[in-house]
Amino acid sequence: MPESEGYVLREATEDDVERMLSWRNQKTNRDVSITSHEITPAEHAQWWSRVRTDPTRRVLIYVRDGVPAGVVSFFDVSQTEPRVGSWGFYLDSDGLAERGETLPAWLEVMREAVDHAFDELKLDRLHGEVLEHNAVVRQMNRRFRFAEGRPEQRAADGREITVIPISLDREKRRRR
């Protein structure tokens, strides 16, 4: 599907680096992230130089109606059987809210990311993490049939947080 219509996931490029950083630093995204401080351009550049050549990572841009609107990252993607990997995503929360598109975008990006994990990356199991206080994301994860694991206490950015691991097996995924 062309970028000009509907929605699509595409590989991130050098042209996306600044926009990814601006989205990641939106307060809405920092409030629900393990790393909650504002990411500096230097930190972001170091991250980008590592991930763009790492065979266990994929960074994709979610495009909605021709407009870049989010980032989906896959990491720790195994190269052997069973194929497992982890993922996370964040959206252009401010831009989507201004356009009244937050909920449909959220549903689309999750559906596309899960499909990508199992159909393109050929994963058998997909892992992730969610902060305990993020009830809306936890509910959405359940809708997509992710199972929650045992909560873990962590210190991150000078605060104590509770992180809940999630996972989804290929055979349990919700099909369209």
Q: What percent of the chain has pLDDT over 70?
A: 97
pTM for this entry? 0.93
CA distance 168 to 95: 29
> What are the b/e assignments for 55-67, b being 16+ CB within 10 Å?
eebbbbbbbbeeb
In a domain, 121, yes or no: yes
Say what the pLDDT of residue 175 is: 77
pLDDT band at 5 (very low <50, low <70, confident <90, very high): low
Residue 137 · residue 32 · CB < 8 Å: yes
Q: What is the pLDDT of residues 18-35, one digit of tens each?
A: 999 999 999 999 999 999
Total structural domains within the chain = 1
Instruction: Decide if 131 is inside a domain.
Output: yes
Instruction: For residue 2, give the 3-state DSSP assignment.
Output: coil
Q: What is the pLDDT of residues 135-160, one digit of tens each?
A: 999 999 999 999 999 999 999 999 99
Q: Is the pLDDT of residue 89 over 80?
A: yes
Q: How confident is the model at residue 75 (pLDDT cuts 50, 70, 90)?
A: very high
Q: CA separation (Å) from 75 to 125, 143, 172?
A: 13, 23, 21
Residue 1 placed within a domain: no
Range of the domain at 74: 7-172
What is the average pLDDT across 163-172?
Answer: 97
Whichever domain contains 59, its CATH number is 3.40.630.30
Contact (Cβ atoms closer than 8 angstroms) between residue 116 and residue 10: no
Q: Is residue 166 part of a domain?
A: yes
